[in-house]
């Protein structure tokens, strides 16, 4: 039987006996030095259907509530116990550092959208090559003018996204321990980000975002979570500790 991995925890962590994994499987832990992997047996790799993904996510969240835990991507399966402990050994230093940095913390996702998205500028190339000194009423001149407007709009959008990101950072300065930021500037979507916070600070973060909404009525700000801190775990190789695609994740 193969072993399915849900999360990495401190070695002294033992999930309650009544907790169950995928398809009602019993949970156990496999330790290496100060860490352990929470696992269950599986005959075949799980299908990524809604029930299985939500079961995985619920268990990871429950572990994070009661213990320091690093979430592991849905679908991570190892051939046997030795393969799990070898993976822990390969990434041990990185996993220990992540546990100290983000263990016991949660992730909040943030999306900001313009309430009235700007109209896009359609730029069509002329049928023939046109020099920059073409007559102002010619097709080529109109094309060049449209390109300049599109470039100016893109730069303005980037500047607006940077400004909003700065305002969010200021609003969450006292609470955010780390962040992952991606300015999008596509359609009405201005900003996508994830913030690492202590669970006790989640209400204060929500209040701060409410205050920012009052100052920026031109932007709709959506805050989601708290979630396990997928966005802040060091990446593969090894346990493939990273976000579950398509489940939640605002950022």
- pLDDT band, very low/low/confident/very high, at 237 (cuts 50, 70, 90): very low
104: tokens are 């016991």
d(CA 135, CA 59): 67
- For residue 249, pLDDT beyond 90: no
Phi-psi region of 181 (alpha: psi -120 to 50; beta: other; left: phi over 0): beta
Give the pLDDT confidence score for residue 196 in this predicted structure.
95
From the centroid of its chain, how far is CA 52?
20
- For residue 42, pLDDT beyond 60: yes
Kindly report whether the peptide bond that precedes residue 237 is cis, defined as omega within 30 degrees of 0.
yes
User: 50: exposed, middle or buried (C-beta count within 10 Å: 0-12, 13-18, 19+)?
Assistant: exposed
- For residue 250, pLDDT beyond 60: no
- Within 8 A by CB and 6+ apart from 20, the residues are 26, 27
Instruction: Please tell me the pTM assigned to this model.
Output: 0.73
* Longest alpha-carbon distance in the chain: 80
* pLDDT tens profile 64-99: 888 899 999 898 999 999 999 999 999 999 999 999
The CA radius of gyration of the chain, in Å to the nearest whole number, is: 24
| CB 84 within 8 Å of CB 30 | yes
Percent of the chain at pLDDT > 70 equals 82
162: tokens are 């940077």
């Amino acid at each position: 039987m193969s072993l399915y991995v849900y999360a990495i925890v401190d070695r002294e962590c033992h999930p309650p006996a009544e907790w169950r994994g995928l398809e009602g499987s019993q949970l156990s832990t496999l330790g290496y030095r100060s860490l352990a992997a929470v696992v269950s047996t599986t005959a075949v790799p799980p299908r990524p259907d809604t029930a299985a993904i939500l079961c995985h996510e619920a268990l990871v969240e429950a572990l994070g509530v009661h213990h320091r835990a690093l979430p592991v991507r849905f679908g991570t399966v190892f051939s046997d116990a030795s393969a799990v402990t070898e993976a822990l050994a390969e990434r041990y230093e990185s996993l220990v550092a992540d546990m100290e940095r983000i263990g016991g913390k949660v992730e909040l996702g943030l999306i900001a959208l313009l309430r009235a998205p700007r109209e896009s500028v359609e730029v069509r190339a002329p049928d023939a090559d046109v020099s920059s000194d073409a007559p102002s009423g010619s097709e080529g001149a109109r094309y060049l003018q449209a390109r300049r407007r599109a470039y100016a709009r893109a730069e303005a959008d980037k500047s607006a996204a940077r400004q909003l990101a700065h305002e969010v950072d200021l609003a969450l300065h006292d609470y955010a321990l780390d962040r992952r930021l991606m300015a999008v500037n596509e359609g009405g979507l201005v900003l996508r980000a994830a913030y690492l916070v202590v669970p006790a600070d989640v209400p204060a973060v929500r209040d701060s975002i409410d205050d920012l909404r009052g100052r920026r009525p031109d932007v709709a700000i959506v805050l989601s979570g708290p979630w396990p801190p997928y966005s802040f775990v060091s990446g593969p190789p090894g346990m493939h500790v990273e976000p579950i695609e398509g489940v939640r994740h605002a950022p």
